[in-house]
Structure 1
Amino acid sequence: MKFKIISVLLLLAWSPLLRAQIDLAPKPIDSLLPNAKEIVRVERIKIRLNSNTEGIYSYRKVVTVLNNNSTANTIYIGYDPETPISQLRANLYDKNNQLLRKIKKEEFEDYAAVDGFSIYQDSRVKVLNLNHTDFPFTVEWEYEQKLKGITLALLPDWDIQRYGTAVELGELSVEVPLNTQLHHRSVNIQLNPVVNALKDGYQQYLWKVRDLKAVKEEPYSPHYEQVLPQVQLAINSFQIASYSGSMSSWKEFGRFMASLYQGRDELPLELKNELNTVLNGAKNNAEKVERLYRYMQGKMRYVSVQLGIGGWQPFTAEYVHRNKYGDCKALTNFMKALLNYANIKAYPVAIQNTDEAPRVFDENFVNDPGFNHVVLYVPSEKIWLECTSTNYPINYLGESNSDRQVLLLNEEGGQLLRTPVLSSKENREYWRAEFRIDAEGKVENSARADFYGANHELYRALKESLAAKERKEWLEENLHLALESLDSLQVNYQKDRAEASLSFKAALSRMGSRSGKRWFVPFNPLNPLTKAPAKAENRLQRVVNRKAYVQESDLSFTLPAGYKVESLPFSDKKLESPFGQYEVKVEQLGDKILVKRRLQIEAVNLPATEYTAFSNFYREVAKWDGTKMVLVSDK
């Protein structure tokens, strides 16, 4: 599902744009240059709420782009029929702040903001690519946009800085009627608004910042909202179509979201008759849940339609039954209706589906939560259901939904929960492989691998989504082997468990490298750890690694005729740390070299002072994974 949450810069001029020279200091303040990719010279945002149904969001920005690492030379503006754009203008200036050209509104390209699953969506985006590389240069732009519907309910936050962005002057002004309660908080910065009573019956909240140095992005950092300064906003009450809602608490927001599902779970008679057959003989509720989940998976497909409040409100269960498709919220509502028919209570759960670090919620402050997906929770059985998947096992949400805060939607009030963690115990892979090396350097290889938890998802997708030829092509490109041919390829998964398997036979053109009489053969050619966290002096941010997993392998190398072992890298090696464990054993039995390897990576959230030790552990693993056994010719 894609909620219609539009993250945009919405702009209004406080001064005319169309001029030959911009009114700025000749160059940015020198103290703002370190770590900066761009410097915001001026940013002014103004929000004026006319009522709890509509408002105006205005924005003006002047930014000096310092180098090619900046993304500020591309402008994105999202909109839809309820939030049209007006007064759109832009100018481009050289390093001396002299006007290079006036940018016409027509130069902004206009795209439908749809995903690959949507058949129709009314969100759009205007994009301007400046394609200017004579650094430094300055771009100035402004426009105005209506706030209405979901965009009003989820007031845009003020992201004061991005990574690599310094700020000379920033200002946020929010004007609300005196009877409107504005919720706000500052994050990662000590910043309080000046509150002014305006003559027209409005109250103004005004925030200002000056001379903020750029924040350097660091590897393995927390979610950016735990690092970068921000002002978060929410209004106490809002109105979308005929639905009233509140952002005063998660309980109230969850109650509003649940109200959008009311009356949309009625099932037609012919479906009820079909469900009677599906449920016949089920011994308990857990079995009923599984039968109905499998029924839904076999009948429905994921297709998204996002229009107006439909970004939050699902299609009716009858619509999904008749058309055999729906987006995540519609399929979740359909599954909820099936369970309700079986007298099993289940609740939609709003979630942020992402492979990156998810947002961390403040239990006492509600703002745009970034929800973009919905799953289903069955409390009585403690079962989670990913309703958009046609092949996931029951009670498996997938890595991009695991271990994050979510909002259970209940007409009696929302509730913050946390989805299950996928630990190293669940996320495993086990490889068995033989490498038979001949004297010419070619290798016959046979391998089998079993994958579990998050590690299995790729292979389930390969089996389900790609034809056999495409699967083979993908593996040929992604295996760490010098393939001449790939044969007897099998990819399978277990329907009822988070497990998958891969097996193949391969002919390799080479193994390692040769120099004179010596042959250098890697002891772990299948899945070596090759990338370690970059070194970082004066680390500032906490160290966060979210994925835990275990890799195990049993490998056998048959020596080529005429060669013997000159040296092995080690007989055994063991590393232990809070970040993970690594163990490898190498031994020779006749003409075979046997390698047993085990790598366990732990999920961590550590102080910045631990980063060097964290990085060093990975570097040690990469070093030992990269070592080679040395064979020597007896000729």
Structure 2
Amino acid sequence: MNKIILFLLFTALLFGQAVAQKINYDVSLIPDSLTEKAEAVIRNYNHEFEIHSKSRATEKVHLALTVLKRKAIEKTILHLQYNDLTKYRQVKGKIYNSKGEKIKDFDFDDIRDISLIENSSLFSDARVLYYDPEYEDIPFTFEVSYTRKFDGLLNLPSWQPHNDFDVSVESAQFKVIHPKDLDIRHKTQNFNGLFLENDNIYQWKITNSKAIASEPYSKNKNQILPSVFLAPTKFSMEGWEGEIKNWNTLGKWDYDLFQSSQTLNQKKAEIFKHLTEDKANDREKIETLYDYLQNNTRYLNIAVGIGGWKPQDVSFTHEQGIGDCKALTSYMYAMLDAVGIRSIYTSVYAGENAPDIDVDFPSNHFNHVILCVPQEKDTIWLECTSQNNPMGHVGNFTDDRHVLLHTENGGEIAKTPVYDKKYNQIVTKATFKLDEAGKGEVEIQNTYSGNKFDNAAALFYSTDEKAKKKYLYKLIDIPDYIINSYNHKAIEQAKVPTIEENISATVNNYGVKMGNMLFVPVNLLSKISTVPPKLDKRKNDVFIRRSYIYTDTIIYTIPEGFKVKHLPENEKISCDIACYSSSTTEKNGNIIYVRNYEKNKGTYPPDTYEKVRQFFKDVSKADAQKIVFEKIN
């Protein structure tokens, strides 16, 4: 008992003093070490999360942030997301000037309450409280306090005291209270602050923590910034009770939830048996049903309450032809089940640059659902929300990451595939008929394959010709040109999804004429002109998410009445993450330029960065070379 009393007295003094007294937000009081290389400073951040039961909790947050640089003003715009299972009870705040004097107050009456996804949902309870203080007289301090009630505890809040790169922290603390019979799990990442624990209370605190700089070629900020992650051991969501002792128990809960939507009756199942009765094997059946899904459904989010996790009934999806990722994946599962093909409902944290989940910390990391279809010799992965995706194509949205398979026996961790580098290519072939003024006609063929298929897929499938042409003008980095025609087509027999793009254009003022000389940039379409910035001392690993190859072959006709005066030097440049080569030759009245650029996925030590900088400096110099033609007298 004495030890508990001493603990409570100590933590009250240590963690409670910032709340007990009024804080002076005068900017001149911030230590110099916290303003150095910082865009903003968190002056005080108190975050408390109290769990009352398996389904109910209360969160209280008080945050004061001083804006030092103009680009940090956006951090004062309030976006508080909620739905039927999480509700805000109090929101209020103040704005202070540089001397710490209050300028204005705001409360619920000043805050807009809007639908979060009103343009893409048929019906959803997802909403956001939005407030822009519209104050720009920097430096200033933005202070906000709010209380949020939770009804359903599958997802617990995490704590990130810095909340972003280039933000320092004067004082931040996180307190978690839970019933003694309802423990939670927690894990820290890159956290060097203070941690205290006693029975049913966990507390974390940091003070005077310098800003963490954003560095090029780094992992996602959520993998770098100091963080505390929480997960329940037992939870309840609108009567659906579950456990997260491990991945197996979480997967079993989600499996039972998903199975409750499998309401396809025998009569409807016969439709899919009839569709596939003449197919020779399972792969053909899968392809037929996937094609049916794409042609007869479209994505619409329908999520209210438990609907954020539980798919709508399959019979509803079948009749209405609409659904979100859960519903459409569940529908595809039901179709395959009707013809005797096993598939597995699969949760994934999707996003082109999304971090991988922490496989050592089971919790609900996920934001998307796909379908895994095991076959005898391989596994087919289906993105069920796309009306255009080639069957089995795993693009940048879900490739190369851990996922949770939901089976009748519980959850299992697996990993989505990734294309070999040799398939991830953009191959460009172009011919440029130059005239004596340095302008001319160019024919360009770009072939996109593997994970680069996604680069052209939106153009290929779009029916908005005006938008397509506008995008192409942004895509091609030539100062003055007119697109005369373009088209896209799929290469059906390719080993991986492939799109061919053909563009015909008139290029003006590409070459520069000076006296008898005509100077023509050798790299027409893919030059690298930016170099990563110099850093005082690199701290993070260099991270490359995906491998790929860019190959250019450009043929320039020698303008009539000119001869070659100078050709660019052939180049070979390499570093740990990439390699580059280029060659320029004269043959049969043409100049042939061949360029190859390869990037290698991986995690490399921080000292690699300076070599990477040098690589790009050398490549940008090589890409900037010019062919020089001389007029024949």
Alignment-derived partner of residue 344 in structure 1 = 341
Alignment-derived partner of residue 554 in structure 2 = 555
Alignment-derived partner of residue 161 in structure 2 = 160
Is residue 93–residue 139 contact of structure 1 (8 Å, CA) maintained in 2?
yes
Is residue 403–residue 419 contact of structure 1 (8 Å, CA) maintained in 2?
yes
Q: Which amino acid aligns with 1:67?
A: K
Please give the alpha-carbon distance, in whole angstroms, between the structure 2 residues aligned to 1:508 and 1:25: 55
Change (3 A) 1:485 1:122: same
Q: Which amino acid aligns with 1:172?
A: F
Q: Which amino acid aligns with 1:508?
A: V
Q: Any residues of structure 2 matched to 1:62-461 within 5 Å, and which?
A: 62-70=64-72, 71-114=74-117, 116-149=119-152, 152-161=153-162, 162-191=164-193, 193-196=195-198, 203-363=200-360, 365-369=361-365, 371-380=366-375, 381-461=378-458
Alignment-derived partner of residue 574 in structure 1 = 572
Q: Secondary structure at the match of 1:72?
A: helix
Please give the alpha-carbon distance, in whole angstroms, between the structure 2 residues aligned to 1:191 and 1:229: 9
Change (3 A) 1:412 1:107: same
Q: Which amino acid aligns with 2:557?
A: T
Q: Any residues of structure 2 matched to 1:501-520 within 5 Å, and which?
A: 501-520=500-519
Change (3 A) 1:435 1:122: same
Change (3 A) 1:13 1:418: farther
Alignment-derived partner of residue 609 in structure 2 = 611
Q: Which amino acid aligns with 1:389?
A: S
User: How far did 1:174 drift?
Assistant: 1.1
Q: Which amino acid aligns with 1:443?
A: G
TM-score normalised over the length of structure 1: 0.92
Q: Which amino acid aligns with 2:186?
A: H
User: How far did 1:14 drift?
Assistant: 8.7
User: How far did 1:330 drift?
Assistant: 0.7
State yes or no: 1:598 paired with 2:596.
Answer: yes
User: How far did 1:414 drift?
Assistant: 1.0
Change (3 A) 1:490 1:305: same
Please give the alpha-carbon distance, in whole angstroms, between the structure 2 residues aligned to 1:156 and 1:298: 39
Change (3 A) 1:426 1:250: same
- Superposition RMSD in Å: 2.2
User: How far did 1:106 drift?
Assistant: 2.1
User: How far did 1:448 drift?
Assistant: 1.6
Q: Which whole-Å deviations, capped at 9, do the CAs of 1:403-424 have from their partners, x for residues lacking one?
A: 1111111231111111111332
Alignment-derived partner of residue 538 in structure 1 = 537
Unaligned runs of 5+ in 1: 1-11, 198-202
Q: Secondary structure at the match of 1:401?
A: coil
Please give the alpha-carbon distance, in whole angstroms, between the structure 2 residues aligned to 1:386 and 1:187: 32
Q: Secondary structure at the match of 1:350?
A: strand
Please give the alpha-carbon distance, in whole angstroms, between the structure 1 residues aligned to 2:313 and 2:480: 51
User: How far did 1:270 drift?
Assistant: 4.3
Is residue 225–residue 359 contact of structure 1 (8 Å, CA) maintained in 2?
no
Unaligned runs of 5+ in 2: 1-15
User: How far did 1:633 drift?
Assistant: 2.5
Is residue 545–residue 604 contact of structure 1 (8 Å, CA) maintained in 2?
yes
User: How far did 1:28 drift?
Assistant: 0.9
Q: Which amino acid aligns with 1:611?
A: Y
Please give the alpha-carbon distance, in whole angstroms, between the structure 2 residues aligned to 1:532 and 1:423: 27
User: How far did 1:482 drift?
Assistant: 4.3
Q: Which amino acid aligns with 1:58?
A: K
Is residue 273–residue 338 contact of structure 2 (8 Å, CA) maintained in 1?
no
User: How far did 1:24 drift?
Assistant: 6.9
Q: Which whole-Å deviations, capped at 9, do the CAs of 1:288-324 have from their partners, x for residues lacking one?
A: 2222212212211111111111111111221111001
Q: Which whole-Å deviations, capped at 9, do the CAs of 1:547-590 have from their partners, x for residues lacking one?
A: 211111221111222222211111x2222333222222211124
Alignment-derived partner of residue 462 in structure 1 = 459
Is residue 218–residue 541 contact of structure 1 (8 Å, CA) maintained in 2?
yes
Please give the alpha-carbon distance, in whole angstroms, between the structure 1 residues aligned to 2:287 and 2:114: 41
Change (3 A) 1:332 1:467: same
Please give the alpha-carbon distance, in whole angstroms, between the structure 1 residues aligned to 2:314 and 2:121: 19
Please give the alpha-carbon distance, in whole angstroms, between the structure 2 residues aligned to 1:484 and 1:529: 20
Change (3 A) 1:95 1:427: same
Change (3 A) 1:153 1:629: same
In percent, how many aligned pairs have the same letter?
A: 27
TM-score normalised over the length of structure 2: 0.92
Q: Secondary structure at the match of 1:399?
A: coil
Alignment-derived partner of residue 625 in structure 1 = 623
Is residue 155–residue 367 contact of structure 1 (8 Å, CA) maintained in 2?
no
Q: Which amino acid aligns with 2:393?
A: Y
Q: Which amino acid aligns with 1:452?
A: S
Q: Which whole-Å deviations, capped at 9, do the CAs of 1:412-439 have from their partners, x for residues lacking one?
A: 1111111111332121122221111112
Alignment-derived partner of residue 5 in structure 2 = none
Please give the alpha-carbon distance, in whole angstroms, between the structure 1 residues aligned to 2:437 and 2:514: 13
State yes or no: 1:45 paired with 2:40.
Answer: no
Please give the alpha-carbon distance, in whole angstroms, between the structure 1 residues aligned to 2:274 and 2:455: 34
Q: Secondary structure at the match of 2:326?
A: helix
Q: Which amino acid aligns with 2:367?
A: N
Change (3 A) 1:357 1:264: closer
User: How far did 1:517 drift?
Assistant: 2.8
Is residue 222–residue 355 contact of structure 2 (8 Å, CA) maintained in 1?
no
User: How far did 1:509 drift?
Assistant: 1.4
Alignment-derived partner of residue 31 in structure 1 = 33
Please give the alpha-carbon distance, in whole angstroms, between the structure 2 residues aligned to 1:609 and 1:482: 37
User: How far did 1:205 drift?
Assistant: 1.6
Is residue 561–residue 632 contact of structure 2 (8 Å, CA) maintained in 1?
yes
Change (3 A) 1:515 1:130: farther
Alignment-derived partner of residue 9 in structure 2 = none
Please give the alpha-carbon distance, in whole angstroms, between the structure 2 residues aligned to 1:325 and 1:141: 40
Please give the alpha-carbon distance, in whole angstroms, between the structure 2 residues aligned to 1:39 and 1:449: 47
User: How far did 1:117 drift?
Assistant: 2.9
Alignment-derived partner of residue 56 in structure 1 = 58
Please give the alpha-carbon distance, in whole angstroms, between the structure 2 residues aligned to 1:478 and 1:383: 32
Please give the alpha-carbon distance, in whole angstroms, between the structure 2 residues aligned to 1:390 and 1:168: 50
Is residue 26–residue 98 contact of structure 2 (8 Å, CA) maintained in 1?
no
Alignment-derived partner of residue 13 in structure 2 = none
Q: Which amino acid aligns with 1:366?
A: P
Is residue 232–residue 367 contact of structure 1 (8 Å, CA) maintained in 2?
no
Alignment-derived partner of residue 9 in structure 1 = none
Q: Secondary structure at the match of 2:422?
A: coil
Q: Secondary structure at the match of 2:333?
A: helix
Aligned residue pairs total: 612
When structure 1 is superposed on structure 2, of 329-338 and 410-419 the one drifting more is 410-419
User: How far did 1:375 drift?
Assistant: 0.6
Q: Which amino acid aligns with 1:122?
A: D
